[in-house]
Amino acid sequence: MGSHRNLAFLLSFLAAAGCARGQESTEATPPEALLSDLDHPESFQFDPATGWYFVSCIVGKPGEKDGNGEVVRFRLAEDGKPVDVRLDFVRGGKNGVTLHAPKGIAFDGSHLWVTDVDHVRAFDKETGAPGPQIEIPDAKFLNDLVASPDGAFYVSDTMEGKIFRVEPHDGGRVSVYSEEERLANPNGLALDPGGSGRLLVLTWKTGELLQVHANGTTGLLVKLSEGGLDGIVWLEGAWYVTDYKAGKVLVAGEAGPRVIFEGKAGLADLGTDGKRLLVPSMEEGKVFLLSPE
């Protein structure tokens, strides 16, 4: 009996210790939502040039050309509360806008750009008016995009397994930048902050962080999960990544991933305002801020 009681005590102690560790590291009180009741927010990004925060909302199903996509715009006040919120800043069917299921967001001069199933679309940052709209031939499920310093955009197609290069200043020229098998349902994209032009890609199918070389070949940087990776952003010397399926935010260290937040499945394309991580929780319909440790 005595040894059983001791064993029971030991087990309950270990369980309590494990629980306490979990609370400290990753299962803290869920951050307060900045905005909620959004319909499938996919990307949450900040434009340093204007100070606006933008959220792309798929509204409905992610691959459907249903004409009802939205981009929300707001600022954050000193106390961290959203102000000047425009839920219909860009809305499909309004003001001549075509928008179905927007996902990744990037910035270029006076425009914000979003992917939209088989197009990339530009909208004026101040008015929301449509700018250039570029069709990507043979695209099936465009997901993330990133602006290159040379004025081009790199765009991932998760279903086609391709990275496209789009050149709005060259007549909207579109080319396939990479289509290696290793791309395995590419999702999040980022460029080396050092300016080398090296493109980083997260794979949805295999959970890998890859680099794409200038000739389009790919190499593994680090394996981060079994699959389901979504967004990637650089902040204060580290790469932060969302694992959509597991509902985690990870730091991608050379030795492997470290979890800094664990919530519900559906954490999609995260951004940063230079101080905090901007995290969309797509299936919960909300966005929140996360301070890296």
**Residue with smaller CB distance to Ca ion, 160 or 230:** 230
Q: Which of 45, 56, 143, 281 binds Ca ion (CB under 5 A)?
A: 143
The candidate with the shortest Cα–Cα distance to 21, out of 288, 277, 262, is 262
CB of 25 to Ca ion, least distance (A): 26
Residues with Cβ within 8 Å of residue 23, at least 6 apart in sequence? none
CB of 83 to Ca ion, least distance (A): 27
Total residues contacting Ca ion by CB under 5 A comes to: 11
Q: Among residue numbers 173 through 212, which ones bind Ca ion (CB under 5 A)?
A: 187
Q: Among residue numbers 28 through 67, which ones bind Ca ion (CB under 5 A)?
A: 59-60, 66
Residue 70 is a binding residue for Ca ion (CB under 5 A): no
CB of 33 to Ca ion, least distance (A): 20
CB of 17 to Ca ion, least distance (A): 37
CB of 11 to Ca ion, least distance (A): 41
Q: Among residue numbers 155 through 174, which ones bind Ca ion (CB under 5 A)?
A: none
**Residue with smaller CB distance to Ca ion, 144 or 208:** 144
Q: Which of 76, 101, 146, 155 binds Ca ion (CB under 5 A)?
A: 101
Q: Which of 56, 68, 185, 206 binds Ca ion (CB under 5 A)?
A: 68
Q: Among residue numbers 260 through 289, which ones bind Ca ion (CB under 5 A)?
A: 269
Q: Give the x-and-dash track for 210-249 against Ca ion (CB under 5 A).
A: --------------------x-------------------
For 26, 249, 259, 281, the CA distances from 293, given in Å and listed in that order, are 11, 12, 11, 20
Residue nearest to Ca ion (CB): 60
Calculate the dihedral angle through the C-alpha atoms of 178, 180, 185, 187, rounding to the nearest 10 degrees: -40
List residues near Ca ion by CB under 5 A. 59-60, 66, 68-69, 101, 143-144, 187, 230, 269
